[in-house]
């Protein structure tokens, strides 16, 4: 009975169980797979993040929505950063893998290529990395996930107005995608009456010198304090480094980085965060929440700088999955077009409050921006900007940072109940010529003190105007850069003092005082010691004089031996023959020999000897002229030559005066051409060693530099004129230009005097140098004597044979 009941229950329940199993199998059979291609540079940071983020986002999505009948799968391809490889990969995925959508396009060129391919195949392209460009609006099948460029332009303009500025300088990367993505910002500046006073463009190949020159031109033309930067992260690093060298990163200047620049910017160890101090950046706002932190930490290994791309990838993956599910409920032959229309009707609720993405046209727009700046080695959010139904910076967030952006005013010092203005003075800190200018740091007070001739003149001239002086060391390059730094840092520096030559180029940036030193350049050389009435012996040394005299006599003797038996002019008494020997030998000095030679051997000897005499007399004349006549050196009339000569001598921390003197001592320098103050200093140190041979007024002397229009240059010039008329300047010069004890001066003078002896000896011709001539002459003499002896022997044998 029990078995019968069990069979009856099974029989009744079997249809129900069969129906449920059939339904489950039917559900499995109805699951739809939608393939999507991911074409990015998998070797780049952004490409790796997108690949990982899409996989994790889809996994999370279907874990939560496991009842969905559709499943989106991603097929990744590596473009290696090459637009042509990306185009080939997309074409292959569409034809062979039957993908219904493509995620990719990391550059403007790549976006245009892929958009053209998608238009032909009717497959949507979704880009998270392509720049915002008006030229992409014509592609209907291209969907961009990007920040709102109009909102960004309004935010940057509003920030500039909040800084009470009406002009900017725009610095951008010289590439098509960067130029095109800047267009909307420039148009908004024009609409809001923010004038662009200067522009500069740089490419990846731009060097540091080119960047610095362009920055100088921009600031010279525009005189603005606000710089808007739109370029890649590698160029930004180099640009800010150059700006720091020029003093453009100091307080009083504002640098604003656009959203695209900030999106590609990564703070890393190799980047100089010190150069980023005070830089403000706009960036798409990704609210921090537990959900987004959990997701981005898994996707990017906690790289917080890249959480934006992870969040965007999560948004696009969710939109794709939802669109695929809704599309599956419709019946359409063209799946790609249906998917595109479904996505256009989508919106995305972010991982946290405030991270929503809206579809506007063919773009997923993120309209909220965060404004950040650098503090120490970290970035700090100083405000938010949103543009929906209204536009305005959130003042409650921005209020805490407005003080950091104010341009500074002059500082004043309270002293004895009176207000005393502080004059901030830049001073070259190289200490190359300490008697002119020198900087020292007091280790106890931490205050810099300046000394030297230039400093004493400046203190004396500025004293009547009741200024408290603050000396600031300058170590950042040439005096041209010093002039430029002073002109661009009106809120930080007031003057510059030192051995600064007045030039027309520097006068474009600053106001100079009257010169307080002698004007012009001169020539300095070693003072030669006089040798009295015997100076005509100097060209040859003793050994050469003796050798020359010996060969003059030897030539006369040999010619007499050869000629006396056949030439009547060499015959006579022994006294007459001795005189003719000496006369003939020494008369060859001036080629005055009158005797006619008969023998060919004697003629050959005289020809060889006259060649030697010609070389000797030419060498003598040339050496006598060069050693006893100071050459007139043509002065270079360009002041830049003199300053370059000085810079070449200022090596390391060595005293330039000693470097000049040493160069003259060891023969490295024969003359020094430089400005008169440096030469006067050398003459003061070594009055008995050196002499100034010429001078010319081709430079303008040293002057003090002040901010343009400050009025101090005129007042100080008046004081300089007073000091010159009273003779005070000359007294100061004597005190500083002869600041060596007598022992050192005497020692240095003795060194140079001993150098004169060595120098004169080294300038003389020696027998060793001309021994080749005497070897030739000696060989000729030996040959002639040998031939004469052979001839005499033959004559003797002939006479003996005839006798017998």
Residues 646 and 524: their CA atoms lie apart, in Å, by 13
Q: 729-745, pLDDT tens digit by residue?
A: 888 888 887 744 433 44
Long-range contacts of 533-540 (CB under 8 A, 24+ apart): 535/628, 536/624, 538/623, 538/624, 538/627, 538/628, 538/760, 538/763, 538/764, 539/619, 539/620, 539/623, 539/624, 539/627, 539/764, 539/765, 540/620, 540/623, 540/764, 540/765, 540/766
> Are the beta carbons of 496 and 486 closer than 8 angstroms?
yes
Q: 190-203, pLDDT tens digit by residue?
A: 888 888 888 899 98
> Are the beta carbons of 35 and 75 closer than 8 angstroms?
yes
Q: What is the pLDDT of residue 427?
A: 92
Q: What percentage of the chain reaches a pLDDT higher than 70?
A: 73
Whether residue 204 has pLDDT greater than 60: yes
Q: 232-253, pLDDT tens digit by residue?
A: 888 888 898 888 888 887 777 8
Report the SS3 class of residue 457: helix
User: With respect to CATH, is domain 422-519 assigned 3.40.190.10?
Assistant: yes
Residues 200 and 76: their CA atoms lie apart, in Å, by 39
List, in order, residues 6 or more apart from 360 with CB less than 8 Å away: 148
Highest mean pLDDT among 131-135, 388-392, 598-602: 598-602
- Kindly give the interhelix angle for 335-344 and 307-328, rounded to the nearest 10 degrees: 120
Residues in the chain: 804
Question: Do the first three CATH levels of 32-144+302-348 and 422-519 match, i.e. the same topology?
Answer: no
Pair type for strands 226-230 and 167-173: parallel
Report the SS3 class of residue 634: coil
Instruction: Indicate the average pLDDT of the chain.
Output: 75
The pair of structure tokens assigned to 543 is 């050994």
Kindly report the number of other CB atoms within 10 A of residue 172's CB atom: 22
What confidence tier does 218 reach under pLDDT thresholds 50, 70, 90? confident
Kindly report the number of other CB atoms within 10 A of residue 437's CB atom: 25
The residue ranking higher by pLDDT, 130 or 266, is 130
Q: 640-672, pLDDT tens digit by residue?
A: 333 444 444 443 334 566 777 777 766 677 777
Whether residue 429 has pLDDT greater than 90: no
What confidence tier does 171 reach under pLDDT thresholds 50, 70, 90? very high
Q: 270-306, pLDDT tens digit by residue?
A: 444 555 666 888 888 776 554 545 554 554 444 444 5
The residue ranking higher by pLDDT, 626 or 39, is 39
Nearest Cα neighbor of 76 from 35, 38, 106, 128 is 38
DSSP per-residue string spanning 248-312? TTSTT-EEEE-HHHHHT----TTS-GGGGBTEEEEEE-----HHHHHHHHHHHTT-GGGHHHHHH
What confidence tier does 268 reach under pLDDT thresholds 50, 70, 90? very low
Q: What is the pLDDT of residue 597?
A: 82
Q: What is the pLDDT of residue 552?
A: 86
Secondary-structure class of domain 147-286+368-392 per CATH: alpha beta
The residues spanned by each domain of the chain are: 32-144+302-348, 147-286+368-392, 422-519, 522-638+653-698
Q: 295-305, pLDDT tens digit by residue?
A: 545 544 444 44
Whether residue 228 has pLDDT greater than 90: yes
Residues 13 and 8: their CA atoms lie apart, in Å, by 9
Q: What percentage of the chain reaches a pLDDT higher than 90?
A: 6
CATH (one of 3.30.300.130, 3.40.50.720, 3.40.50.2300, 1.10.3720.10) for 32-144+302-348: 3.40.50.2300
Residues 50 and 310: their CA atoms lie apart, in Å, by 7
Residues 634 and 694: their CA atoms lie apart, in Å, by 10
Nearest Cα neighbor of 612 from 787, 780, 784 is 780
What confidence tier does 344 reach under pLDDT thresholds 50, 70, 90? confident
Kindly report the number of other CB atoms within 10 A of residue 524's CB atom: 26
Q: What is the pLDDT of residue 650?
A: 40
Residues 493 and 484: their CA atoms lie apart, in Å, by 11
Pair type for strands 412-415 and 418-428: antiparallel
List, in order, residues 6 or more apart from 669 with CB less than 8 Å away: 660, 663
The pair of structure tokens assigned to 603 is 């003629």
Mean pLDDT of 534-557: 84
Please name the helix (run of DSSP H) or strand (run of DSSP E) that holds residue 209, with its range, or none: helix 208-222
DSSP letter, residue 227: E
- Residue 104: phi and psi, rounded to 5, are 175, -155
What confidence tier does 598 reach under pLDDT thresholds 50, 70, 90? confident
SS (H, E, C) 118-140: HHHHCCCEEECCCCCCHHHCCCC
Nearest Cα neighbor of 222 from 178, 173, 171, 181 is 171
The pair of structure tokens assigned to 598 is 């008969």
Q: In what order do the strands lie in the sheet with 671-675?
A: 671-675, 521-526, 690-696
> Are the beta carbons of 435 and 681 closer than 8 angstroms?
yes
DSSP per-residue string spanning 574-622? HHHHHHHHHHHHHHTTTT---PPP--HHHHHHHHHHHHHHHHHHHHHHH
Q: What is the pLDDT of residue 774?
A: 87
What confidence tier does 763 reach under pLDDT thresholds 50, 70, 90? low
- Kindly give the interhelix angle for 233-245 and 208-222, rounded to the nearest 10 degrees: 70
Report the SS3 class of residue 502: coil
Q: What fold, for 522-638+653-698?
A: Helix Hairpins (1.10.287)
């Amino acid at each position: 009975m029990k078995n019968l009941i069990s069979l009856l229950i099974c029989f009744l329940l079997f249809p129900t169980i069969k129906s449920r199993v059939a339904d489950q199998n039917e559900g499995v059979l109805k699951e739809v797979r939608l393939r999507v291609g991911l074409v990015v540079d998998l070797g780049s940071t952004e490409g790796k993040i997108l690949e990982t983020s899409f996989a994790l986002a889809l996994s999370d999505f279907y874990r939560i929505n496991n009842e969905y009948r559709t499943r989106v799968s991603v097929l990744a391809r590596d473009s290696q950063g090459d637009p042509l490889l990306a185009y080939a990969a997309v074409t292959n995925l569409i034809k062979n893998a039957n993908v219904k959508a493509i995620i990719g396009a990391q550059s403007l060129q790549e976006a245009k290529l892929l958009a053209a391919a998608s238009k032909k195949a009717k497959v949507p392209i979704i880009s998270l990395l392509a720049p915002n460009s008006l030229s992409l609006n014509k592609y209907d099948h291209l969907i961009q996930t990007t920040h709102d460029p109009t909102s960004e332009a309004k935010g940057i303009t509003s920030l500039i107005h909040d800084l009470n500025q009406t002009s900017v300088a725009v610095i951008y990367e010289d590439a098509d995608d960067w130029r095109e993505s800047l267009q909307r910002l420039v148009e908004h500046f024009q609409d809001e009456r923010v004038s662009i006073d200067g522009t500069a463009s740089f490419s990846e190949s731009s060097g540091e010198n080119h960047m610095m020159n362009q920055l100088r031109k921009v600031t010279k033309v525009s005189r603005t304090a606000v710089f808007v930067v739109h370029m890649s992260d590698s160029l930004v690093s180099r640009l800010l480094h150059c700006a720091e060298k020029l003093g453009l990163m100091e307080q009083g200047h504002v640098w604003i980085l656009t959203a695209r620049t900030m999106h590609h910017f990564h703070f890393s160890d190799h980047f100089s965060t010190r150069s980023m101090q005070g830089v403000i950046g706009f960036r798409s706002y990704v609210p921090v929440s537990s959900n987004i932190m959990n997701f981005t930490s898994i996707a990017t290994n906690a790289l917080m700088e890249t959480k934006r791309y992870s969040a965007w990838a999560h948004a696009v993956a969710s939109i794709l999955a939802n669109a695929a599910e809704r599309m599956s409920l419709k019946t359409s032959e063209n799946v790609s077009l249906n998917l595109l229309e479904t996505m256009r009707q989508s919106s995305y609720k972010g991982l946290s409050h405030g991270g929503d993405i809206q579809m506007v046209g063919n773009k997923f727009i993120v309209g909220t921006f965060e404004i950040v700046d650098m503090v120490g080695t970290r970035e700090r959010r100083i405000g938010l900007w949103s543009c929906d139904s209204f536009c305005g910076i959130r003042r409650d967030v921005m209020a805490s940072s407005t003080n950091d952006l104010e341009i500074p005013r002059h500082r004043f010092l309270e002293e004895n109940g009176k207000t005393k203005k502080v004059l901030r003075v830049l001073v070259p800190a190289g200490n190359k010529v300490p008697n002119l200018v020198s900087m020292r740091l007091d280790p106890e007070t931490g205050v810099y003190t300046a000394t030297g001739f230039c400093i004493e003149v400046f203190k004396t001239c500025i004293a009547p105007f009741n200024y408290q002086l603050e000396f600031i060391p300058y170590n950042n390059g040439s005096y041209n850069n010093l002039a430029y730094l002073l002109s661009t840092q009106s809120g930080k520096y007031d003057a510059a003092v030192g051995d600064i030559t007045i030039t027309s180029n520097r006068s474009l940036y600053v106001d100079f005082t009257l010169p307080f030193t002698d004007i012009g350049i001169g020539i300095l050389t070693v003072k030669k010691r006089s040798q009295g009435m015997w100076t005509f012996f100097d060209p040859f040394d003793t050994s050469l004089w003796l050798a020359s005299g010996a060969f003059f006599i030897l030539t006369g003797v040999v010619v007499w031996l050869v000629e006396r038996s056949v030439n009547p002019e060499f015959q006579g008494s022994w006294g007459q023959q001795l005189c003719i020997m000496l006369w003939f030998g020494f008369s060859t000095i001036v080629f005055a020999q009158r005797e006619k030679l008969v023998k060919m051997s004697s003629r050959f000897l005289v020809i060889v000897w006259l060649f030697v005499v010609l070389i000797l007399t030419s060498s003598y004349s040339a050496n006598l002229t060069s050693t006893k006549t100071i050459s007139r050196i043509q002065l270079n009339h360009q002041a830049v030559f003199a300053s370059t000569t000085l810079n070449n001598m200022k090596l390391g921390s060595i005293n330039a005066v000693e470097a000049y003197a040493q160069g003259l001592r060891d023969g490295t320098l024969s003359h020094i051409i430089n400005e008169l103050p440096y030469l006067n200093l050398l003459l003061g140190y070594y009055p008995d060693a050196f002499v100034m041979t010429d001078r010319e007024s081709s430079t303008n002397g040293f002057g003090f530099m002040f901010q343009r229009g400050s009025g101090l240059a005129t007042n100080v010039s008046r004081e300089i004129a007073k000091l010159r008329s009273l003779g005070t300047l000359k007294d100061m010069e004597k005190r500083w230009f002869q600041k060596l004890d007598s022992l050192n001066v005497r020692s240095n003078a003795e060194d140079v005097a001993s150098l004169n002896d060595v120098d004169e000896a080294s300038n003389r011709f020696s027998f060793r140098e001309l021994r080749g001539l005497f070897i030739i002459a000696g060989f000729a003499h030996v040959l002639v004597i040998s031939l004469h002896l052979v001839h005499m022997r033959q004559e003797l044998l002939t006479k003996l044979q005839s006798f017998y």
